[in-house]
Amino acid sequence: MKSGLDGRAGKAYQRALEAVLAIPIGIGIGYFVDGRLDSGPIGMVIGAAFGFAAFVRRLVSMRSLVEDASDKGDGSEPK
């Protein structure tokens, strides 16, 4: 049987992977759009901006996950 720690750790790894991949995926979509529309680097710039926004959003959600875990913890203060 899995403990609660395993579930939180799995969510944390999933969110970290999503955060790390958000920027390259955004740039890739922008690159694809640039190729289809022959629009120069503007699609990649916009894709990078959206990817970075998704990255920041994931980091914020990871922070809330860590805060929830520390609230349910053993009462010791985080370092």
Residue 40 lies in a domain: yes
Q: Please count the structural domains in the chain.
A: 1
- What is the residue-level pLDDT of the chain in tens, covering all 79 positions? 455 556 777 877 888 888 889 999 999 999 999 999 988 899 999 999 999 999 998 888 877 766 766 666 544 555 4
Q: Which domain holds residue 56?
A: 22-68
Residue 13 lies in a domain: no
* Four-point Cα dihedral 70, 73, 77, 79, nearest 10: -60
Residue 2 lies in a domain: no
Tokens of 65: 């996950």
Return the number of other C-beta atoms located less than 10 Å from residue 45's C-beta.
13
pTM of the model: 0.67
Cα torsion angle, 37, 38, 40, 41, sign: positive
C-alpha to C-alpha distance for 44 and 41, rounded to whole angstroms: 5
